[in-house]
Structure 1
Amino acid sequence: MTIRIKILLFTASVLFILSCQQRETAKHEEILTAIDTTAVTDTVSPVFMYGIRSDSFDLISGNIKRNGFLSEILLKHGVTMQEIDQAVRTFRSVFDVRSVRSGNKYVLFCERDSIARARYLVYEHDPTTCYVFSFADSIYIIPYKKEIKSEIRYSSGIIETSLWDAMMADSLHPTLAFKLSEIFAWTVDFFGLQKGDRFKVIYEEIYVDNKSLGAGKIFGAQFTWSGVTITAIPFIQDGKESYYDIEGNSLRKAFLKAPLQFSRISSRYSSSRMHPILRIRRPHYGVDYAAPVGTPVLAIGDGRITSAKRENGAGLMVRIQHNSVYSTDYLHLSNYGRGITAGAHVKQGDIIGYVGSSGLSTGPHLDFRFYKNGSPVDPLKVEAPPVEPVLPENLARFEVNKAVVVSLLETFN
């Protein structure tokens, strides 16, 4: 497997086209105005952290302990329970303290005196979002967004085993593999990749605090699978972005190629298979995907749950009626997804359960079954109908996008 990465220096015109066609420019984060306003000299520039004048305070940082509370930290540093309660109650709509997670970082801004009272506490909720708790002149809670930086990168490679293994072997962020698998989920069978299959991708890599958060926007991609090359061109139609091939047909289909990501097929559809437990030959009207316990199982298409219960050898299973023709079964689950009950409606890609080994099973896997007019068919041979292509009135705009993306991909042969 060989993957090469280059930082692309796009021309202004290319950046203009891509940015205008694909997404609106994100609004600049709000500047925090409620900060310490201690005067500074003309010769010393103030230092700010999280929008707070940090060189006016002693900083104490740590991580939330298991079963720990922000109130415990604040009480130890001079903030009263009355002040904490006022902040929590008044600004509950801004931040619910019950969502605090153990292990996350916090920073205290303490006064430089004998009491060392905390005037601010900053809680890092996720890699990009923090919450500032103020106990200075006024009490409030306000969100703070960290600066997000990005680089445009290019990656290409030849598959030796799987897309996931290729990405991991070359220390690429796992999100790039997920992004590609999502874009090509309807057109490429990632369980059937063969040695020699190829891919190219132009993408945005996101950084916060000089650490990569993974792949952001995919500006264009190609996948050559079983000798057929499929190009993915991003395009906004009716206010929604999707990916289309070079003919303007949507890469999305009515059904996903598979209900899992990054596992392997352990048993295929067969009219006569030796059952691994019963030791007798019987039909196996499904495809078994081996995967670790707890791997999310996705609905391959929109539909209504007609059954979600334990059924003898099938163990915990879910049945979805997609329309008057097609239905699917998901067997041997370890648990159900949130809200998955008979009668519930699901969208394509919703998590309906998790891989397990319930029922007659020798190990963790998903037994996936596909039915057409009530009769079983091989899931790997189902030809799913596409969704709406680029509309005629949008073709001229699409052609501009296509020319840019194809030209860039061809540059990196």
Structure 2
Amino acid sequence: MTKKKQIIFSSLLGIALLIVIFMPKREGEVESLDEVEVTDSTEVQEIVYKYGIPVNDYDVDYGVVKRNQSLSTILGTHGLSSRQIHDLGQRAKGVFDVRKIRGGQAYAFFSRKDSLATPEYFVYEADPRAYVVFRLKENYEVTIGQYPVSWKRKEVKGAVQSSLWNAMVSCDTDPLLAVELSRIFGWSIDFFGLQREDEFRVIYEQECVEGQDLPNFKIIGAVFRHADSAYYAIPFLQNGEVLFFNEHGKSLEGAFLKAPLDYFRISSRFSNSRFHPVLKKYRAHHGVDYAAPVGTPVYAIGAGTVIAKGYQANGGGNYLKIKHNGTYTTTYMHLSRFEKGIKVGSKVAQKEVIGYVGSTGLATGPHLDFRVFENGRPVNPLTIKSQPKEPVKSENLVQFNVLRDTIMNQLKRL
């Protein structure tokens, strides 16, 4: 190469290098991997699960079981054959009794969005805490699912104006808490004889599932002021069981319940001369009538043995008689029906359901006619004395007193 050509080549090379060095970068061009900005053009979709099933992948058809509907009728309306329904029922054995599907309960069908609306899952809401998942394809798997349960701590303070139930409603509190209190204080307080301005304070926890409060309570502490007396309820673990005691460590549970059913009104009291609404004449009424809806559970007020069970067309209708000890016997009349398994000779526990309120026999409306006999003589059920159960043991008193003081201070601060 001649000297002239070398000079021209060198000049062109230099110009090219200058162009490369000073040329502006094109959009998206980087000099190192450190400058690389990673982006994802695909939007991330959150997967939502219901009953453990990814809802995003399915069309969901919700429904409610109608009266007298069975699993077969529900599945049949969604295209399943009799053979498929039979096989599914076989797989459910030992997991869930399909005969227990009942009206009013919710259910859901899950069908693939890319399919011909053929359901893959059927889910039945067995109760507020549990559901049953039926896989409708391949091996027809049946499983039980449980909702996570939580407990909310709550407090309420109020006064009775008409009834404890209405007082709870006025305090924006679940009125079923009134029933819970009647069970705890039932040996000490006559909840059918509450007075205006009777006061209560309660610290409790309420069970919650999926944001829904359930009628299940744990009483942490309570006090009820009735007839110028204050009644405390302190829960304490003794003999492996949580029992309720007053502030002195005496049991709130007596040998007899104060009433044989939960929290309904007295329609007629014990009397030696009462005008009978059916017979239209005066005669003795040696019992207490508790007005309550048909089907209300009736309890044995104490442990004992059923000594009579029968029907009196022109008297007590369906009735039961229980012998508690050598002194006391109780009678329960006008029952709509008896509890299953109850017969003469049955041993019953205190607060065990023995029957249900009705209006059988000589009655103008649904109520329980409850009678108590002391040594064979009728006595007023509202005035019988009940000996309390075992108090806090001496070796547990120090621990109980610490708990008592804490709870009573919390109740005072409400």
In the alignment, which residue of structure 2 is the partner of 1:376? Answer: 378
Instruction: State how far apart, in whole Å, the 2-side matches of 1:337 and 1:177 are.
Output: 25
**Alpha-carbon spacing, 1:116–1:166, altered in 2? closer, same or farther (3 Å):** same
8 Å CA contact 2:156–2:173 kept in 1: the answer is no
Instruction: State how far apart, in whole Å, the 2-side matches of 1:117 and 1:321 are.
Output: 61
Corresponding letter in the other structure for 1:266:
S
1:363 to 362, 365, 369: 365
Q: Which moved more, 1:310-319 or 1:246-255?
A: 310-319
Instruction: State how far apart, in whole Å, the 2-side matches of 1:395 and 1:82 are.
Output: 65
Instruction: State how far apart, in whole Å, the 2-side matches of 1:113 and 1:72 are.
Output: 26
In the alignment, which residue of structure 1 is the partner of 2:163? Answer: 162
Instruction: State how far apart, in whole Å, the 1-side matches of 2:218 and 2:208 are.
Output: 13
CA displacement at 1:347 relative to structure 2: 1.5
**Could you say which structure has the larger radius of gyration?**
2
In the alignment, which residue of structure 2 is the partner of 1:123? Answer: 124
> Which structure has the higher relative contact order (CA within 8 Å, separation 6+)?
1
CA displacement at 1:163 relative to structure 2: 0.7
Counterparts of 1:279-290 in structure 2 under 5 Å? 279-290=280-291
Aligned structure 1 segments of 4 or more residues deviating by more than 6 angstroms: none
Instruction: State how far apart, in whole Å, the 1-side matches of 2:336 and 2:108 are.
Output: 40
Counterparts of 1:93-108 in structure 2 under 5 Å? 93-108=94-109
Instruction: State how far apart, in whole Å, the 1-side matches of 2:50 and 2:71 are.
Output: 19
Alignment of 1:244 onto 2:257: no
Instruction: State how far apart, in whole Å, the 2-side matches of 1:73 and 1:214 are.
Output: 29
8 Å CA contact 1:77–1:116 kept in 2: the answer is no
For residues 246-266 of structure 1, the C-alpha deviation after alignment (integer angstroms, 9 at most, x for no partner) is: 111111111110112232222
Structure 1 unpaired stretches of 5+: 1-40
For residues 84-136 of structure 1, the C-alpha deviation after alignment (integer angstroms, 9 at most, x for no partner) is: 43332233111011111123211122122342322221111111210111235
Instruction: State how far apart, in whole Å, the 2-side matches of 1:178 and 1:411 are.
Output: 24
Q: Which moved more, 1:292-301 or 1:206-215?
A: 206-215
Structure 2 unpaired stretches of 5+: 1-41
For residues 295-345 of structure 1, the C-alpha deviation after alignment (integer angstroms, 9 at most, x for no partner) is: 322211111111111234222221110111111111222322222222222
Alignment of 1:318 onto 2:323: no
In the alignment, which residue of structure 1 is the partner of 2:154? Answer: 153
Alignment of 1:353 onto 2:355: yes
TM, length-normalised to structure 2? 0.83
Instruction: State how far apart, in whole Å, the 2-side matches of 1:136 and 1:92 are.
Output: 17
Instruction: State how far apart, in whole Å, the 2-side matches of 1:141 and 1:401 are.
Output: 46
Instruction: State how far apart, in whole Å, the 2-side matches of 1:322 and 1:145 are.
Output: 41
In the alignment, which residue of structure 1 is the partner of 2:89? Answer: 88
**Alpha-carbon spacing, 1:326–1:411, altered in 2? closer, same or farther (3 Å):** same
Counterparts of 1:22-41 in structure 2 under 5 Å? none
CA displacement at 1:233 relative to structure 2: 0.8
8 Å CA contact 1:47–1:54 kept in 2: the answer is yes
Counterparts of 1:51-66 in structure 2 under 5 Å? 51-66=52-67
8 Å CA contact 1:78–1:115 kept in 2: the answer is no
Q: Secondary structure at the residue paired with 2:127?
A: coil
The number of residue pairs the alignment matches comes to: 372
Corresponding letter in the other structure for 1:354:
Y
8 Å CA contact 2:110–2:121 kept in 1: the answer is yes
Corresponding letter in the other structure for 2:156:
S
Counterparts of 1:182-193 in structure 2 under 5 Å? 182-193=183-194
Corresponding letter in the other structure for 2:183:
E
Q: Secondary structure at the residue paired with 1:125?
A: strand
Instruction: State how far apart, in whole Å, the 1-side matches of 2:163 and 2:142 are.
Output: 46
